Amino acid sequence: MSNYFSGVGNYVPTQTITNSFFKDYQFLDEMGNLLPQNNAIIAEKLKKNTGIEERRYANENQVTSDLGYQAALMAINDAGIDSETIDYIIFAHNFGDIKINSIQSDAVPSLASRVKKLLKIKNPYCVAYDVIFGCPGWIEAVIQANTFINVGFAKRCLVIGAETLSKIVDKHDRDTMIYADGAGAVIIEKALGDKGIYSHLSSSYTYQENDYLYFGNSYNKNICQNTKYIKMNGRKIYEFALNNVPKAMKKCIDDSKFDIRQISKIIIHQANEKMDEAIVNRFYRLFKMQPPENIMPMIISKLGNSSVATIPILLTMLLNNEVENHQINDGDIVLFASVGAGMNINTFIYRF
């Protein structure tokens, strides 16, 4: 059995933040010491290592569920369905709704239930819940929806991934420049033909790797130490991803029974352009091959890393022919993959 995306949608905030936006930030190291490089050099190094030139921020009055609602509405309209026929709304995020001038994450009630209310869905049997699974959360939510449909628990699901990372960054940590805001969504339902998900795989590495991404204190020791911000060990994450993601991708394609040469595109979490390119190179090396040209579309240079939202945003852009030199056609076989906090990895093979 296979299930397919009958509608896609995204919401990309209108506020464009270039690297020069951070020119007056006071970046510190973990000990609270001022970094020796000026911010122009830091920004240039960021661009070289991650590919990021710009990112998008939500407006001050927008929270994560607002962005998710906009993406969901677009997906529902794209599918041409009645929202009352949705059986599950699964919302992937990591930090809840954070309002301006607040230091608290608000996830009660769930963001999925908030989107359901905004959509004015009255059906009580439309079940709404959230998934917190790091950056791979949207893929994990898709896998769950796919399973619900396969076992007969649902006929149609709405899967959302949204984040407003700009609201939980430490402005004294240069990693602030990596993060972005955005949302993406799909409607998934049973396919009549050969479209849809053919295999999937998920894994959680928690024994030694659990704290590579975490909530920690500001590098500015004069700021309230009870307020926490997103922190990461970038080198550890890079090494972990290169060692483990390609193997997961290989197992998924082996399970799908497709040949590696049949893969048309690889849609990977837009975390770091250099890292993603290295992952794909190692993946093809497992098959003793070089990656085909144009196999991996990237949007991180203009949209930054919006965690769970990066893949559904990119998917929507590809299907709407909004990514230069990349398109998806009927019959194309696409590999989706993500890695992030947990540390979690997941992947699935999809035929369009």
pLDDT by residue (tens digit) across 242-301? 999 999 999 999 999 899 999 999 999 999 999 999 999 999 999 999 999 999 999 999
**pLDDT on residue 54:** 94
Predicted confidence band of residue 109 (pLDDT cuts 50, 70, 90): very high
pTM confidence score: 0.94
Q: Helical H runs in 51-124? A: 64-79, 111-118
Nearest to 253, CA basis, from 244, 263, 243, 245: 263
The Cα 1–Cα 200 span in angstroms is 13
User: In the chain, how long is the greatest CA-to-CA distance?
Assistant: 60
Average per-residue pLDDT in the chain?
94
Domains detected in the chain: 3-192 (3.40.47.10), 197-351 (3.40.47.10)
Angle, alpha carbons 303-308-311 (nearest 5°):
60
Q: Give the model confidence (pLDDT) of 27-75 as tens digits.
A: 998 888 898 888 999 999 999 989 999 999 999 999 999 999 999 999 9
Between the alpha carbon of residue 114 and those of residues 35, 97, 144, 186, 342, the distances in Å are 42, 10, 20, 17, 26
Q: What pLDDT was estimated at residue 68?
A: 98
Q: What pLDDT, in 10s, does the model give residues 204-239?
A: 999 988 889 998 889 898 887 788 888 999 899 999
Contact 238, 49 (CB under 8 A): no
pLDDT tens across 117-151, in order? 999 999 999 999 999 999 999 999 999 999 999 99
